[in-house]
Amino acid sequence: MTMTENTIYQDRVTLRLIQFAVVWAVVAMTAGVYLAAELIWPTIDFGQFWLSFGRLRPLHTNGIVFGFGVSALMATAFYSVQRTSHVTLFSPRLAWFCCYAWQLTVLLGGLSLLAGWNTTKEYAELEWPFDIAIAVVWICFAVVFFGTIATRKIRPIYISNWFYGALIIVIAMLHIVNNLALPVSLNKSYSLYAGAQDAVVQWWYGHNAVGFLLTGGFLGMVYYFLPKHAGRPIWSYRLSVVAFWAFVYSYIWAGPHHLHYNSIPEWVQSLGMVMSIVLLAPSWATLINGVMTVSTAWEKLRTDPALKFIVLSLAFYGLATFEGPMMAIRSVNVVSHFTDWTIGHVHSGALGWNAMITYGTFYFMVPRLVGRELYSTRLANIHFWMALAGTMLYIIAMWAAGVSQGLLWLSVDQLGELSFDFKDIMSSMTPYYLLRLVAGLVFLGGTVLMAYNLFMTMKGREPVAVTPPPVAPAFGVAS
Amino acid sequence: MSSNIYTNLLFKSLYNPVDSFRDLSQVDPAPLQILLRYSIWLLLLPPFFAWIGASNFGWRLGAEEPLRLPADALLVISIGYLLVLLFGLVSTAFISRWMASTYGANKSLGRHLALVTMVGQPLAVASIAHLFPDVLVNVLVLIPTMIWSMYLLYKGIPIALETPPERGMLMASSLVGWLLVAAVSLLGISMALWALGVGPLLGV
């Protein structure tokens, strides 16, 4: 390693992680579109086990959450932690290890899911060898991230790093505790927990994976890239710190709302419900902070196509973080649970919030990383409208399907007998599933446009060398 | 101009919305006048169509048998529907005016009320689909209409409220956020009411 490499920001690993994230987005969304088609035409699995809904579905979710989501979070965390600490990455080799080891784990893990290895825990389907690999890579990620913070040249730890830090610590805790299991063979293990305890631990994991990875981690992205985009400081830094602690405190309790009317104690359900509603406050505090930051920087919209994605992602963040607490209320949940409304809710978060904020961030980062204008602003604008249309159509189709299912499943006649046959209700959902398939295709189409646009932007380019700027003495770390 | 603004709003906004937004930007109508001479007539349409459709045919949610409700329950639901729409319109107008100071837009409440009505007008007209109470038919009619309404929102704010298009885009997105939350609240409130025994008979 030369001296220059020690004094410039390590951006090659960031660029590589962005490339992987885009590839995962296309692969996992294609799997999602195929699954949407299977729900309309069940025979298109052609009798192949690996192509069946049960095997392809975990590939879709794991590919999005761990392939696309985590790669994007690693990329943005590495990029922003260097710039907010005014220092290059701690142990760049370990960062490269994280990058490739993670991709290998997700790739082999995905193939194992297609082969039928499955713990049957949602979002934690990967079997024990992959769980160990994930834990090892994650700890390396923590070493790189916190090592960089520890060697920082600037005293304050910027708010985005608190969110990324919480992501790293809490996901490590959740992943390790939830996946404790007794292996019996290479592809089979038994969870350490049984019955209702297993359910509570699983949803403590499941909901906080949504909370700390898909919400907290991506909020780290917002807090760094939104002010950068807007060229303005965060509207209220104090509010962001208050929101962070309130968010961390309240999220961890919300898991049991996945288990309403199940065989867990009622007080646990009530606690989960109340804490889910409390969660609205810190979620919306961040929303207001984001909206107010961007509202002062409207001139930027003229020149920056990426800012639109971030503006819209905040609107969907607002929707999803309101919808969630509402669906956690037991009297709403009794109708909405197990219906397609839940799928719609997840996608208003995953498409409208996670994907859009990431797309906006990638359109911002890639031209800066390679020192070249975005290949086509027009394609980015078309992508924006495709992403918006796809998300809206998806949500509305699932709202209509979900409400119909909830109502029909529970309808009883005067004698108290169910009025409708489950099979008939499900077969009548085809038109909504067709709408959802169209929505998915439109959203995927936009993502492919972005992949092409970013590929053409970065084609044949290396990252620009950027050296950390000097630190004002008042903010420097006393040594 | 101001004498025929109501006729203009009611008809011209359907076939030439941009001109209609421009007309609106020239006047500061009284909020109550807008509500009584323009908005309320459009608000009456969806509950009226829904009442006729549901009482004659019953809602088809996808199952063989349509869901039929007793006449008095339907009347209560239709009145509730009207009140919800009224609340939605007025609250959106107030929220829009509240946002106006952040986005440098005009703060005349009458204009906000008129703008929100103009944006919602295609939906009110398309609610004629309620006469055929099949959820899928309504979804298929109302989704394109909603896209058109969203276009009107993004197009109309900068013109009618006199703010730069970029600031208008931000304001429209904030309002979309509010409208999405309002829509999902309506679903949640309906479900909670069903679970509590109002409306269809559910085994909960």
Interface A–B counts its CB contacts (< 8 A) at 136
SS3 content of chain A, % helix, strand, coil (to 5): 75, 5, 20
Contact list in A for residue B64 (CB cut-off 8 A) is 420, 424
Of chain B, the end-to-end C-alpha distance in Å amounts to 57
Query: Rounded to 10 degrees, what is the CA torsion of B91, B92, B95, B100?
Result: -140
Which amino acid, residue A57? R
Considering only residues A224 and B69, tell me which one the structure prediction assigns the higher pLDDT.
A224
Q: Where are the domains of chain A?
A: 9-192, 257-262+276-461
SS3 content of chain B, % helix, strand, coil (to 5): 75, 0, 20
Q: Do the beta carbons of residue A398 and residue A349 sit within 8 Å?
A: no
Strand A188-191 relative to strand A181-185, pairing: antiparallel
User: And the tokens for B77?
Assistant: 């639901």
- Assess whether pLDDT exceeds 50 at residue A366: yes
Tell me the pLDDT band of A3, cut-offs 50, 70 and 90: very low
SS3 track for A18-80: HHHHHHHHHHHHHHHHHHHHHCCCHHHHCCCHHHCHHHHHHHHHHHHHHHHHHHHHHHHHHHH
CB atoms within 10 A of CB A316: 28
- Residue A479's pLDDT is 52
Partners of B133 in beta bridges: none
Which residues 44-83 in chain A show a CB within 8 A of chain B?
A: none
Closest residue in chain B to residue A348, using alpha carbons only = B180
User: And the tokens for B49?
Assistant: 């169509």
Burial A371-396 (b: 16+ CB within 10 A, else e): ebebbbeebbebbbebbbbbbbbbbb
**pLDDT string in tens for chain B (204-residue length):** 455 677 777 778 888 889 889 988 998 889 998 898 889 999 999 999 999 998 888 887 766 677 777 888 888 889 988 999 999 999 999 999 999 999 999 999 999 999 999 999 999 999 999 999 888 889 889 988 998 998 899 999 999 999 999 999 999 999 998 998 998 998 898 888 888 887 777 877
Tell me the pLDDT band of A289, cut-offs 50, 70 and 90: very high
Contact list in B for residue A407 (CB cut-off 8 A) is 61, 67, 194, 200, 202
Pick the closest to residue B38 from B8, B62, B73, B72 (CA basis).
B8
Angle at A269 (CA atoms; ends A268, A271), nearest 5 degrees: 65
In chain A, % of residues over pLDDT 90: 87
Considering only residues A350 and B55, tell me which one the structure prediction assigns the higher pLDDT.
A350
User: Residue B201 and residue A404: Cβ atoms within 8 Å?
Assistant: no
- The predicted-structure confidence for A91-143, as pLDDT tens digits, reads as follows 999 999 999 999 999 999 999 999 999 999 999 999 999 999 999 999 999 99
- The predicted-structure confidence for A129-179, as pLDDT tens digits, reads as follows 999 999 999 999 999 999 999 999 999 999 999 999 999 999 999 999 999
Q: What is the ipTM of this complex?
A: 0.84
Q: Do the beta carbons of residue A278 and residue A226 sit within 8 Å?
A: no
Sign of the C-alpha dihedral computed for residues B85, B90, B93 and B96 taken in this order: negative
Pick the closest to residue B126 from B137, B140, B141 (CA basis).
B141
| CA distance to partner chain B, nearest, from residue A395 (Å) | 10
Q: Do the beta carbons of residue A143 and residue A101 sit within 8 Å?
A: no
- Residue B68's pLDDT is 78
CA distance A343 to B138: 21
A257-262+276-461 has the same fold as A9-192: yes
CA distance A129 to B120: 55
Which residue among A332, A392, A435 sits closest to B188, beta carbon to beta carbon? A332
User: Residue A335 and residue B173: Cβ atoms within 8 Å?
Assistant: no
- Residue A4's pLDDT is 54
Tell me the CA distances in angstroms from A347 to A15, A341, A342, A391, B18, one per residue in order: 27, 10, 9, 8, 34
CA distance A359 to A364: 9
pTM score of the predicted model? 0.92
Which residues 358-417 in chain A show a CB within 8 A of chain B?
A: 389, 392-393, 396-397, 399-400, 403-404, 406-408, 410-414, 416
- Residue B190's pLDDT is 86
- Residue A419's pLDDT is 86
| CATH domain A9-192 topology | Cytochrome C Oxidase; Chain A (1.20.210)
Of chain A, the end-to-end C-alpha distance in Å amounts to 26
CA distance A275 to A328: 9
Which three-class secondary structure state does DSSP give residue A191?
strand
Q: Report domain A257-262+276-461's class.
A: mainly alpha
